[in-house]
Structure 1
Amino acid sequence: MEVVWKRQWGLLVWFSVMIQFFLLSHCHLKYPQGSFSSSSFFSVVGSVAFQEEPIESGDEQWHCENHCVTSYGNLRGIKYHGVENLLDDGLDRDDRGYWDCSWEDVNGSNSKQSMILGDRFQVIMQTNNQVEVSFKTTWKSSDPLPALNVDKRYVMLSGSSGFYTYAIYERLKGWPGMFLWETRIVFKLSQKWFQYMAISDTRQRIMPTIADRERGQSLAYPEAVLLKNPMNSELEGEVDDKYQYSSESKNDRVHGWISLNSGIGFWIITPSYEFHAYECSLHWSSSKCYIENGEPWKKVFGPVFIHLNSVSDKTKATSLWGDAKQQTWKEIVSWPYSFPHSPDFLKSDQRGSVIGQLSVQDQYLKVGNGPARFAHVGLAAPEDARSWEYQTKGYQFWTRTDEHGNFYIKAVLPGAYNLHAWVSGVMGNYMYEATVTVTPGSVTKLPPLVFKPPRDGPTLWEIGIPNRHAAEFYVPNVTKNINTLYLEQDKFRQYGLWERYAELYPENDLVFTVGTSDYAKDWFFAHVLRRLPDGKFKATTWQIVFDLPKVDKAGTYKLRLVLAAAHMAEVQVRVNRRDAIRPDFTTGPTGRDNAIARHGIHGVQRSFTAALPGSLFVNGRNTIFLHQPRNQEAFQGVMYDYIRLEGPPQSTH
């Protein structure tokens, strides 16, 4: 179906639609004549009728292609501001803009990638101000597809500089179990027009083309290539790797591309990340979104806003980023939207809110007691007592406290939740002991909340800051395979940093001496393996050297070991006996977040406490050995968030 709006409003969107009409060999949709002021981007008009001949009304035309037998609700093209198609029309028409998902059946076979193709089309709403269309797909047991019903929606509003899309995923009771790895909406933009990508104020640049990548040299994994003879000679010798452009959901409210030669911007705006609270990806951790046999499930993904903007002076095309940020704020303050017509997307009056105050109480903490300033506070379904980070199927609602520890979580869907919190600079995670129940239109006021962090004794020494990441540690400069965007910022995003460890420590592993070493200079940000000349990898052992003037031999010391990331790794702890066969403590095999390879600075946080008898220590100089023994491949290792040694309770060290 070609959907052509009056050209004075500048935007054209083509859909591929599958519609079955048993008695017609051709079918056409007509919207009667109607329009808005020239300030509008769209003309949204009239009722729907089916005719046997093409219908044209001025500049308007709706047309079902291919004799009504193909198409699935995928976007074939977007015309805007004189450009015939912003999408890549060199691709197959159903491979330009689409929803898809990665999944496995209940038997856990290899992950499959499936495009979500609608088999039923319906106009949900049609007025002079709004059109909402639906493309539904219904699962059949004979289908080699994920056991999901999906309702894809597209919404166009009068005067809006773009369009909205969202999808309702549903599984009925009795359906077979499945794993859902991830789901997404994809727009493949024309390389002819779009060369410049913007993620944040400081992460913007001209990007290489697909052809540049094809000419490049493959590196350690397919996503990373060394550019050779690129069309833009300034990119010569740089690394291109998609993982260098990842962002945390809380920071990724808007991202997009700019056409420098046409002065057009294409942006995806996410006004709320409540639906991002699903861990369906190996890019993040080893957890899968597992929906059990017979378990009913429903979730709304979106809406997100596809924002288009333009500037007449093409030399100022990069200023479109500022406009996109302003539009993002408008979308955020409009959430939850009032216009989606699916009853599964709840409006403001169907939601509730939660207010409260959080404080920190730690008798051994010198700084940080009192109001939990600027803490992260959130609601998550009580489906997993371990952590909100392991949630997979539901929604989450997060906010930050003010300087007095007050918080207000708004627009919460009705239901029962656990309340979680964490405070930068304070070890541990808080969870309110009672279930928080939210009802439509309610304001739930909680009693004063007190976070008592994990603690058994006084701090003897600590390394790092408990902030859930490893950015405060030493991240080296790269000596080759550079991305110039990260020479002065976010250096951890550079390719190949795992190889720099062996260059900095060619013979002996890292030794950190408490009191003289500086973790910002002397603690490598990732505990990685050492590559040997034959290509194999050697396990590494780090040392923490410290003094204890007087050991309490009858007491128990606690080593708090908090990992910011881990991938197929293990940390073994030995006290003063490097070669002891059995470690004094081990984390056991842990993690699959692959943050080292994917240029992250954290994955899923994991906390461990080693109870160490005083008999292991000596008066004077002591050494704790941290051994990472698993050495099958390059990216096995951990990132530390925070390490603390506590003395026995009431210790006077």
Structure 2
Amino acid sequence: MLTQQTHNTVELNKGIVRVTFSNPRGDVIGIEYKGIDNLLEIKNLPSNRGYWDLVWKNGLDRLQGTTFKIVTLTADQIEISFNKTYDDSLGDWTLPLNTTYKDSCQQPKIATETTFRPLPLTNPRNPELNGEVDDKYQYSSNVKDIKVHGWISTDDAIGLWMITPSTEFRSAGPFKQELTSHVGPTTLTVFLSSHYLGKDVGLTFAEGEAWKKVFGPLFVYLNSDVRSSNASFSLWENAKEQMYEEVKSWLYNFTQSEDFPSSDGRGSVSGQLLIRDSHINESLVSASYAYVGLAARGYAGSWQTEELGLLGKFIQIFDFMKDWGYSEELGKVLQYILKFFLNISSL
């Protein structure tokens, strides 16, 4: 595993794949794979191929880094970091936020805490789409279902996939809809947005309020097959198999970020949730397909607009019929009716 650095690029080379970043900005400007020099759109400027951005009250900020460093360099793993420090002399020209985005190349996987966004072809080549309506909102999905998405090159039988093993950094609950892709092809990973819900789920801060949050890590997956009429199906099936492997592998412990607690620094919740629904059965039955979330104490539904944190300490149960907040009454319901047994540590 090799890394090369010049005055304006950083390159991670695993042999089967070579990823090139701009230095120190951190844009993904090239991906070499299976004999293809660059999977990204070379007709676009290098800064407009793979990047991440943030929309705020004054417009779009590309959050490009100003410094670069190598965090970890071993025979099995490389972790690099791009950092952008807020310069108050620029005033409202730039977002008043310090950001760090890291990319890790580990045998045999690549993970990232940035948004990976290959940009589209300038002129669509598929004549079947002429006159068709096609936009990013047609690729929306519930957050709970955004586990793997991407694009396939049918000419080369190559797939590029974004895998999200955990949605712990997302907010507004499992049924919040979010974008996954754009026409072109473009792969998106949206960390937070007001899509479909409005400003109530947007980030807001008080004057001088301190805030820090880790988004990701995400997993970028490339696969290939022999060109055939069945290649697209096999690539998609393989991508789903890899997604299941990444979900089972979560929590990632290879990242060196002090702000991303490893598994031994986190608590756990386990137990059994039983319900009594007289319309189904007079006896207690398993709460199949229920969602149980951990959230900060608040009014009913407040968990949906809590954008700043990850997980809190209080139990909330929500379903299609009722939205419950924490209360002593709910505590009694959990204890005496639902028989909700928990083993909670380090919370």
Confirm or deny that 1:13 pairs with 2:19. Answer: yes
- Secondary structure at the aligned position of 1:211 is classed as coil
Choose the corresponding residue for 1:381, options 275, 291, 296: 296
1:88 aligns with 2:63: no
Distance in 1 between the 2:314 and 2:208 partners?
Answer: 25
Residue 284 (structure 1) aligned with residue 196 (structure 2): yes
Alignment of 1:417-566 (within 5 A): 417-424=313-320, 427-433=321-327, 447=335, 450=338
Q: Of Structure 1 and Structure 2, which has the larger fraction of its residues in helix? A: 2
- Superposed, which structure 2 residues align to 1:287-366 within 5 Å? 287=200, 288-318=202-232, 319-360=234-275, 366=279
Q: CA deviation at 1:368?
A: 6.5
Supply the AA of the counterpart residue of 2:19.
V
8 Å Cα contact 1:258/1:266 also seen in 2: yes
* Residue in structure 2 matching 1:249, options 136, 140, 143: 143
* Aligned counterpart, 1:367: 280
CA distance in 2, matches of 1:277, 1:264: 32
Task: Give the CA deviation at 1:374.
Answer: 2.4
Distance 1:358 1:82, change over 3 A: same
The code of the aligned residue for 1:147 comes to: P
Q: Extract unaligned runs of 5+ from structure 1.
A: 19-71, 105-110, 168-184, 192-209, 213-230, 397-415, 435-445, 452-653
- For 2:130 and 2:218, the matched residues in 1 are separated by 36
Kindly indicate whether the alpha-carbon contact (under 8 Å) linking 1:360 and 1:368 is maintained by their aligned counterparts in 2.
Answer: no
Q: Distance in 1 between matches of 2:214 and 2:228?
A: 38
Across the aligned residues of Structure 1 and Structure 2, the Cα RMSD in angstroms comes to 2.6
- Give 2:157's aligned residue: 263
Match of 2:51 among 75, 81, 98: 98
* 1:297 match: secondary structure: coil
Given that 2:53 and 2:62 are in contact with CA atoms closer than 8 Å, whether structure 1 keeps it comes out as yes
- Contact residue 309 and residue 320 of structure 1 kept, 8 A: yes
Letter in 2 for 1:303: P
3-state SS of paired residue (2:208): coil
1:123 aligns with 2:70: yes
CA distance in 1, matches of 2:120, 2:56: 28
| 1:356 shift after superposition | 3.7
- Following the alignment from structure 1 to structure 2, what is the Cα–Cα distance between the partners of residues 190 and 285? 27
Q: 2:113 aligned with 1:166, yes or no?
A: yes
TM-score (norm 2): 0.79
Equivalent of residue 133 in structure 2, options 226, 239, 252 = 239
Closer, same or farther in 2 for the Cα pair 1:3/1:236, shift >3 Å?
A: closer
Label 1:418 to 1:290 Cα distance change in 2 as closer, same or farther (>3 A): same
Q: Which residue of 2 aligns with 1:187?
A: 117
Deviations 1:370-410 (A, max 9, x none): 433321111122356433222211114xxxxxxxxxxxxxx
2:305 to 390, 413, 419: 390
Give how far 1:90 is off. Answer: 1.1
Cα gap change, 1:299 to 1:4, in 2 (>3 Å): closer
What secondary structure, in the 3-state scheme, does the structure 2 residue paired with 1:343 have? coil
Partner letter of residue 367 of structure 1? I
| Superposed displacement of residue 292, structure 1 | 1.3
Q: Out of 83, 86, 103, which is 1:136 matched to?
A: 83
Amino acid paired to 2:35: G
Question: Over residues 195-249 of structure 1, what are the superposed CA-to-partner deviations in whole Å (9 max), with x where a residue is unaligned?
Answer: xxxxxxxxxxxxxxx535xxxxxxxxxxxxxxxxxx5343344321221110111
Normalized per residue, the structure richer in strand is 1
- Closer, same or farther: CA 13–384 of 1 in aligned 2, 3 Å: farther
TM norm structure 1: 0.44
* Distance 1:233-1:283 versus aligned 2 partners, 3 A rule: same
- Match runs of 1:597-616 below 5 Å: none
Do 1:432 and 1:449's aligned partners in 2 also have CA atoms closer than 8 Å?
no
Give 1:247's aligned amino acid.
Answer: S
Identity %: 38
SS at match of 1:291: coil
Amino acid in the other structure paired with 1:299: K
Q: Corresponding residue for 1:620?
A: none
CA 383–302 in structure 1, closer or farther in 2 if over 3 Å, else same: farther
2:247 partner SS: helix
Say if 2:78 and 2:105, in contact at 8 Å, map to a contact too. yes
TM-aligned CA deviation for residue 83 of structure 1: 0.6
C-alpha deviation, 1:448, in angstroms = 5.2
Deviations 1:575-598 (A, max 9, x none): xxxxxxxxxxxxxxxxxxxxxxxx
* 1:211 and 2:123 aligned: yes
3-state SS, counterpart of residue 298 of structure 1: coil
The one-letter amino acid of 1:275's match is F
Query: Per the alignment, in what secondary structure is the counterpart of residue 84 of structure 1?
Result: coil
**Alpha-carbon displacement from aligned partner over 1:386-441 (angstroms, at most 9, x marks no partner):** 33222211114xxxxxxxxxxxxxxxxxxx423222235xx21233436xxxxxxx
Q: Quick check: 1:148 aligned with 2:97? A: yes
Instruction: Classify the secondary structure of the residue corresponding to 1:327.
Output: helix
Equivalent AA in structure 1 for residue 313 of structure 2: Y
Change (3 A) 1:373 1:431: farther
Conserved? CA contact 2:301–2:324, under 8 Å: no
Within-5 A mapping of 1:629-644: none
How far apart, CA to CA, are the structure 2 residues paired with 1:378 and 1:261? 44
Matched length: 303
Cα distance in 1 for residues equivalent to 2:72 and 2:130: 51
What residue ranges of structure 2 are gaps of 5+ in the alignment? 1-8, 177-191, 329-333, 340-347
SS in 2 for 1:302: coil
Distance 1:112 1:345 in 2: 29
Larger Cα-atom Rg: 1
